[in-house]
Amino acid sequence: MANLCHLDSRQITLGIKNGDFSAEEYVSQILERIEKIDGKINAFITVDKEGALEKARLIDRKIRNGEQNIGPLAGVTVGIKDNICTSGLKTTCASKILEDYVPPYDATAVRRLKESDAIIMGKLNLDEFAMGSTTEYSKNGPTHNPWNIDYVAGGSSGGSAASVAALECAISLGSDTGGSIRCPASFCSVVGLKPTYGSVSRYGLVSYANSLEQIGPIGKTVSDVVMVMNAIAGKDNRDHTTLELVPKYTLNPTKKNIRVGLVKELVEGAEPEISKCIYSAMDLFSSLDFKCEETSMNSIEYSLSSYYTIAMAEASSNLARYDNIRYGFDLSPDGYEWNMYFSKVRSNFGQEVKRRIIIGSYVLSAGYYGKYYLKAQKVRSLLKRELKSLFEKYDILIAPTMPLLPFKFGDKIEDPLKMYLIDIDTVIANLSGIPAITVPAGFSNDLPIGLQIMANELQEQTMLDAALIFESATNNIQRSPDL
Partner 1 sequence: MGSMEEIRHLGLLSKLELTDQELRKYESQIEEIIRYLDILDRLSLDEIDPVQSTIKFSELRKDYVETFQGDALKNAKHRKDAFIKGPRMS
Partner 2 sequence: MVLAVNIGLEIHCQLTALRSKLFCSCHSDYRGKKPNNNVCPICSGLPGSLPLLNQRAIELAGMVSLALGCTVPDKIRFYRKNYFYPDLPKNFQLSQYNFYGISSIGVDGKLDYTGSKKTFIRRVQLEEDPGRLIYETGTSDTNFYTLIDYNRAGVALIEIVTEPDFTDPRDVRIFLNKISSIIEHLGICDTKLEGSVRCDANVSIEGKKKVEIKNVNSFKEVEKALTYEITRQKTMSIHDIEIKAETRHWDDLRKITKQARTKEEEQDYRYFPEPDIPTIVLGNEFVSSLKVNMPELPEERKVRFVTDYKLSEHVAQVLIDNKEISDFFEVSVKIYSSPKEIANWIVTDLMGFIDDSEQKGSIFSGLKIEAKHVADLARLVDQNIINRSTAKTILKQIIKTGEMPSQLVANINASKIDDAGVIAEAVESIFVREKSAVIDAKTNPNVANFLLGKVMQLTKGKADPKIALNLITTKLTESN
Q: According to CB under 8 A, which one of 24, 60, 127, 314 is a site residue for partner 2?
A: 314
> If contact means CB under 5 to 8 A according to the sort of partner, which of partner 2, partner 1, none does residue 100 touch?
partner 1
* C-alpha torsion sign, points 261, 182, 429, 135: negative
Instruction: Give catalytic residues, as residue numbers.
Output: 81, 156, 180
246 binds partner 2 (CB under 8 A): no
Q: According to CB under 8 A, which one of 202, 220, 412, 479 is a site residue for partner 2?
A: 202
Half-sphere exposure of 316 (CA within 13 A, CB side): 17
> If contact means CB under 5 to 8 A according to the sort of partner, which of partner 2, partner 1, none does residue 84 touch?
partner 2
325 binds partner 1 (CB under 8 A): yes
User: Which of positions 137-176 make contact with partner 2 (CB under 8 A)?
Assistant: none
Residue (of 99, 84, 209) closest to 157 by Cα position: 84
> If contact means CB under 5 to 8 A according to the sort of partner, which of partner 2, partner 1, none does residue 470 touch?
none
298 binds partner 1 (CB under 8 A): no
How far, CA to CA in Å, does 322 sit from each of 138, 181, 346?
Answer: 17, 25, 7
Write the binding mask 103 to 132 for partner 2: x where contact by CB under 8 A, - elsewhere: xxx-x-------------------------
Q: Whole-angstrom Cα distance, residue 371 to residue 196?
A: 28
Q: Which residues pair with 440 in a beta bridge?
A: 450
328 binds partner 1 (CB under 8 A): yes
How far, CA to CA in Å, does 458 sit from each of 94, 198, 346, 454?
Answer: 32, 9, 39, 11
> If contact means CB under 5 to 8 A according to the sort of partner, which of partner 1, partner 2, none does residue 330 touch?
partner 1
Phi-psi sector, 207: left (phi>0), alpha (psi -120 to 50), beta:
beta
Q: Please, which residue, 21 or 342, has the CB nearer to partner 1?
A: 342
Q: According to CB under 8 A, which one of 32, 100, 241, 381 is a site residue for partner 2?
A: 241
Q: Whole-angstrom Cα distance, residue 196 to residue 463?
A: 11
Q: Whole-angstrom Cα distance, residue 259 to residue 254?
A: 14
- 221, 191 contact by CB (below 8 A): yes
Which run of H or of E encompasses 231? helix 222-232
Q: Whole-angstrom Cα distance, residue 168 to residue 435?
A: 27
80 binds partner 2 (CB under 8 A): no
Q: Whole-angstrom Cα distance, residue 379 to residue 234?
A: 28
**Window of 4-12, 153-161, 220-228, 322-330 that interacts with partner 2 by CB under 8 A:** 322-330
**Window of 49-57, 290-298, 359-367, 420-428 that interacts with partner 2 by CB under 8 A:** 359-367
User: Which of positions 181-220 make contact with partner 1 (CB under 8 A)?
Assistant: 198, 211
Q: Please, which residue, 45 or 85, has the CB nearer to partner 2?
A: 85
The footprint of partner 2 (CB under 8 A) covers: 84-85, 91, 93, 98, 101, 103-105, 107, 202-207, 210-211, 237-241, 313-314, 316-317, 320-321, 323, 325-327, 333-335, 338-339, 342, 361, 364-366, 369-370, 373-374
